[in-house]
Amino acid sequence: MKHYLKTFALLIVISSLPIILSNIFNFPSFKAQSDGLKGKEGSHFISSIEKKQLSPSFPVDEQINKVIYLTFDDGPNGYTQDILNILQSKNAHATFFLIKGNIDKHPTLLKEIIKKGNAVGCHSVSHRVDVFYSSPKVAINEMKVCQRAIYDQTRFHTPLIRVPFGSFPHLTNDIKNGLENENFIYWDWNIDSEDWTNNNPGQVYTNIVKQLNLTEKKGYIPTVLLHDKQVTVEMLPKLLDYLNEKGYKIKSITNANKPVQFNLHTSEPAS
């Protein structure tokens, strides 16, 4: 009987060895992850790490330094200052795709956007499908005129653009190549807040959060389409609180980032 008990004890020790060893060798990376995730998640961070590790498409590095890009189109206008104040109060930055006529009307707001550490890009002159997409020459010229307006006010040269209403279905290969030959970098999005069609702040917030979960599963860096609008101002504090709580770094786009672009034939994000 004694012999039997000894064998049993030995078996337990042997079967536990892999767990003991993996705990010893995993400890440094586990500590790095807990450092990266500490904060408001508090004691829940262990279970959140375990959950995220189940997703193979989301590398560990991006779990620790999750980034999100918020993009605001059609300004600057009467809502831009409120958006800037809210972003600053929540330690967030964003990217503003501006229309040339609005830059002329609100040059001080343009300077304020940049002064607060946000990025700017061009969003055309006409903002009209029938005009902007009529030829590569027109599209390139509109973006150059807009780029020049930003430069004249700020001495800041931006290659970032968003074509009116996004690249799908209007952007032809000819116009795309023409813009890229002029070193413009065009950005679409992978989360549509639908603030352009919806005036209910709660609904716009829900649209974003729902799509954010899908974007995470696919391993994309979430890039959100928003506009300088009243509904967006109203829902923005809640959205930023949510993103901060989830551990996102809310950053502006840089010229070095790989742009989110639709597949020109399907409207699905191509990257």
Binding residues for Zn ion, rule: CB under 5 A, are 73-74
Provide φ and ψ at 248, rounded to 5°: -75, 145
Residue number with CB closer to Zn ion (75 or 247): 75
What is the C-alpha to C-alpha distance for residues 104 and 50, in angstroms, rounded to an integer? 51
DSSP state of 54: T
Cβ at position 75, least distance to Zn ion in Å: 10
Find the DSSP H helices in the chain. 2-37, 45-53, 60-64, 80-89, 100-105, 107-115, 129-132, 136-154, 173-181, 201-218, 230-245
Q: For tokens 């330094």, what's the residue?
A: 65
Q: How far is the CB of 71 from Zn ion (least distance, A)?
A: 10
Closest CB to Zn ion among residues 73, 188: 73
Burial class (CB in 10 A: 0-12, 13-18, 19+), 12: exposed
Instruction: Quote the distance between the C-alpha of residue 44 and its chain's center.
Output: 25
Q: Residue number with the shortest CB distance to Zn ion? A: 73
Q: Work out how close the CB of 68 gets to Zn ion at its nearest, in angstroms, rounded to a whole number.
A: 20
The CB-of-33 to Zn ion minimum distance in angstroms stands at 39
Helix (H, G, I), strand (E, B) or coil at 103: helix
Q: How far is the CB of 163 from Zn ion (least distance, A)?
A: 9
| 212 or 225: CB nearest Zn ion | 225
Nearer to Zn ion, 33 or 71 (CB): 71
Going by their DSSP bridges, the two strands 191-192 and 185-186 should be labelled as unpaired
Closer by beta carbon to Zn ion, 73 or else 142: 73
Q: Which is nearer to Zn ion, 73 or 195 (CB)?
A: 73
Query: What are the backbone dihedrals phi and psi of residue 269, each rounded to the nearest 5 degrees, phi first?
Result: -60, 130
Rounded least distance, CB 74 to Zn ion, Å = 5
Alpha carbons 186 and 179: distance in angstroms, whole number:
8
